[in-house]
Amino acid sequence: MADMPLKGALKDEQLAVLEGGFGVLCDGETIKEVGLFANLLDRNKSENLEVIELEGVVALPGFIDSHTHICFAGSRARDYAMRNAGKTYLEMAEQGGGIWYTVTLTRLASQSELETGIKTRADRHLAEGVTTIEVKSGYGLSLSEELKMLRAIKQSNAEHQADFIPTCLAAHMLPKDFEGSKTEYLAMMAKELFPKLKEEGLANRIDIFVESSAFSPEEGKVYLEEAKALGFELTVHADQFTVGGSALAVEVGAVSADHLEASTEEEIQILAKSETIATALPGASLGLGCPFTPARKLLDAGGSLAIASDWNPGSAPMGDLLMQAAVLGTIQKLTNAEVLAGITYRAAAALSLKDRGTLQAGMLADLAIFPCSDYKEILYQQGKLKPSMVIKRGLKVN
């Protein structure tokens, strides 16, 4: 996946497929060289090498899931059944469901219980080749509970082999128990939470859900500009059901705008002309039964497309990044190159990570190794073909 453009459509012919006995030489956590296996062995025969020799396999960069909510407690299986039976979100909420149900259960959970949940879900992701996982808060929605979530993410990151990239989503929705306006809630979080994030090193990314049911673009702009002034990177839940979020993301210089299922031609052009990465979340489309992100149009317009799972207990409970990316490719007619770029180096860009996403010297030695001799089999089998081996920071972890 090296030396490919960050933006625009990709042809499969642009993939540099190295065939015929190639190897990856790791030096600690990073890749030292990619070249012919025999040559690498010969030039380094004086070194005390650990050699793993495999035949009939394909190695890809470890996958990067740039948008998840895997820090939560409880299940929303009842919501899923009700939604498929035709109930509206309002009807589910009136019967105790929706985001607030997850907030309630997450608040009741201890930090240790949240850490167990994060690591259990990350175990599965890592076994499926996902070596870097963005993890959001957003089910606490109070100062103390958001801090509990972010501390759980930080502690889990210290104990797990995958890398977690924490994001503060305190602006997920206005909590029901907050006695004040949306503007007052956002101002409180910016004043009281943001300094704590810096003080404890809990997150360098701030997210907000810009939607009619959450926060308006006007409310979001003030909040995000306060975060930016403090040196935080920005991302936005944008254009999921109504537009406005993606234009705001571009205006404030957000690294990514995620969802985009409702984006029209106007939003597509705004994103394509910007440096903001468009992130498709096909898991939410599958979970909600709603349209998919217009990925084909975004790429053809010159935009950059990352693909993430949105793994969460409500709208995207599946959490299978590779399967979802393959399905998005089928629905949106994306090339293999575009899909694989979306879960490797373009996903890395959506997290401002420059040390992973490709297999080349100097990058992290993160590899997903599949039991097939043709890379096209991986997406062809739509997520059913799983890695036979995963290497994270130079160590075999699966």
Check whether 354 has a pLDDT greater than 80. Answer: yes
State the span(s) of the chain assigned CATH 2.30.40.10.
12-60+357-396
The per-residue pLDDT for 89 is 76
B/e letters for 88-112, b = 16+ CB within 10 Å, e = fewer, are: ebeebbeeebbbbbbbebbbebebe
Q: How confident is the model at residue 21 (pLDDT cuts 50, 70, 90)?
A: very high
State the SS3 of 212-238: CCCECHHHHHHHHHHHHHCCCEEEEEE
CATH topology assigned to domain 63-350: TIM Barrel (3.20.20)
The answer to whether 245 touches 214, Cβ cutoff 8 Å, is no
Structure tokens, 187: 């101002």
Residues 265-286 have pLDDT tens digits of 999 999 999 999 999 999 999 9
Q: Cα separation of 170 and 142, whole Å?
A: 8
- Tell which residue, 230, 180, 232, 161, has the closest CA to residue 203: 232
Separation CA 129–CA 90 (nearest Å) = 37
Cα–Cα distance between 207 and 191 in angstroms, integer? 16
**Which residues lie closer than 8 Å to 42 by C-beta, 6 or more apart?**
none
Question: CATH 3.20.20.140 in the chain, residues?
Answer: 63-350
Rounded Cα gap, residues 391 and 398, in angstroms: 7
Q: What is the DSSP string of 136-165?
A: E--S--SHHHHHHHHHHHHHHHHHSSSEEE
Contact (Cβ atoms closer than 8 angstroms) between residue 229 and residue 222:
no
With beta carbons less than 8 A apart as the criterion, state whether 303 and 336 touch.
no
Q: Which tokens go with 34? A: 């990619």
For residue 94, is pLDDT > 90? no
pLDDT band at 153 (very low <50, low <70, confident <90, very high): very high
Whether the pLDDT of residue 194 is over 80: the answer is yes
The pLDDT of residue 95 is 85
| For residues 19-38, average pLDDT | 95
> Residue ranges of the alpha helices (H) in 52-98?
77-84, 89-94
Tokens representing residue 391 in the block: 């290497």
Query: Does 46 have pLDDT greater than 90?
Result: no
Express each pLDDT in 218-242 by its tens digit.
999 999 999 999 999 999 999 999 9
Task: Please say whether the structural domain 12-60+357-396 has been given the CATH code 2.60.120.590.
Answer: no
Look at residue 210 and tell me whether its pLDDT is greater than 80. Answer: yes
The residue whose two tokens read 């009842």 is 78
Cite the beta strand spans of the chain per DSSP E: 22-27, 30-36, 58-61, 63-65, 130-136, 163-171, 205-209, 233-238, 256-259, 277-280, 305-307, 367-370, 389-392, 395-396
Question: Amino acid letter at 33?
Answer: E
Q: How far is CA 270 from the centre of its chain?
A: 22
Q: How many CA atoms lie within 13 A of 306 on its CB side?
A: 30
Q: For tokens 């059944």, name the residue.
A: 81
Four-point Cα dihedral 126, 131, 132, 137, nearest 10:
10
Bridge partners, 259 (sequence order): 238
Mean pLDDT within 100-122:
98
CB atoms within 10 A of CB 164: 22
Q: What percent of the chain lies above the pLDDT cut of 90?
A: 94
Residues 334 and 315: their CA atoms lie apart, in Å, by 24
Q: What angle do CA 150, 254, 89 make, to 5 degrees?
A: 65
Could you give the CA distance from residue 156 to residue 296 in angstroms, rounded to a whole number? 36
